[in-house]
Amino acid sequence: MKPPPFDYHAPTGLGETLEVLAGAGAHAKVLAGGQSLIPLLNMRLASPSHLVDINRVAELDTIVVRGGGVRVGALARHAAVERSEAAARAQPLLRAALRQVAHPVIRNRGTVVGSLVHADPSAELPAVLTVLEGSVRLARHGGGEREVPASEFFVGPLESALRPGELAVSAFFPALPPRAGSAFCEVARRHGDYAVAGAAAVVVLDDDQRIASARVACVSAGPVPVLLDLSEVCARRPAASADWAAVAAAVRDRVDPEGDIHATADYRRHLTGVLAERALRVAAQEAAGEGTGESADG
């Protein structure tokens, strides 16, 4: 299969990139890792008039770790973020989720920001950004920038808040507060496949080691990552005595996934409850200092 014809652009700086995008508008697609875009082009599911290759824009290949979290540039590869010890210390949920993304050869080329812009509700990173209440920075020609929170960035399946002429230049993953833990788990038909269901969880304890906040973002449970606040269900109990069965039931009641060739809606709903409970339980153990610092593998 061959892609449809397009004009190819290979800018070497951010300003040049934004100028090209401004001229092309809605007729342009940005190529970074290409792990999603190239198959879409080859199957003719996308037919842009302009392909803007940003792989020579070195200033976008960044991983910046500060006290408040991790800012990942548009050209930072999955593998680079996964291997970054500084990023893992600042936000361990990133590494836990990235280890579930596809296969090493894809992680070597695919980009974190590209995965977010692709906005697949079955992907891991949109759920991570959502549960952490992170954001994506968008830039356009003329110097305009806007920081879009995850709650507004994912607007539908394979649809983000990115406007014609804009470039997603980075994503910000906030660090966890004190006495907090996180976990990610999923179930796929084969490791590396898109998840049949999954959950990214964050639990925060109060000064008395009781659950003050419990959030989970569910994968493959709706058109966008489904964020659930389950703090009331946990009822400020210590992690060891939380009613995790009630948590799973609450998750099943609040999600409305669709069935497909991989799973019925009922099975996906049940599995989402199981995985959310598991992720929250491990996150609570992490917050209490009892965990391993990794993921709750499905």
Query: Which residues touch 288 (CB under 8 Å, ≥6 apart)?
Result: 181, 205, 209, 238, 239, 240
**Percentage with pLDDT > 90 across the chain:** 89
Q: What's the mean pLDDT in 187-216?
A: 94
pLDDT of res. 236: 84
pLDDT of res. 198: 98
Buried b (16+ CB within 10 A) or exposed e, 163-189: eebbbbbbbbbebbeeebbbbbbbbbe
**Percentage with pLDDT > 70 across the chain:** 97
Q: Report residue 1 as tokens.
A: 């299969």
pLDDT in tens, 78-116: 999 999 999 999 999 999 999 999 999 999 999 999 999
Asked whether 172 and 137 are in contact (CB, 8 A), the reply is yes
pLDDT of res. 295: 55
The Cα 134–Cα 136 span in angstroms is: 7
Q: What's the mean pLDDT in 290-296?
A: 58
pLDDT in tens, 50-79: 999 999 999 999 999 998 999 999 999 999
Half-sphere exposure of 267 (CA within 13 A, CB side): 8
Q: Report residue 192 as tokens.
A: 């590396």
Confidence of residue 294 (pLDDT cuts 50, 70, 90): very low
Instruction: Compute how many other C-beta atoms are within 10 angstroms of the C-beta atom of residue 25.
Output: 12
Considering the chain, what is the average pLDDT of its residues?
94
Q: What's the mean pLDDT in 266-286?
A: 97
Q: In what order do the strands lie in the sheet with 226-229?
A: 180-187, 197-205, 211-219, 226-229
Q: What's the mean pLDDT in 175-182?
A: 96
pLDDT of res. 297: 58
Asked whether 101 and 126 are in contact (CB, 8 A), the reply is no
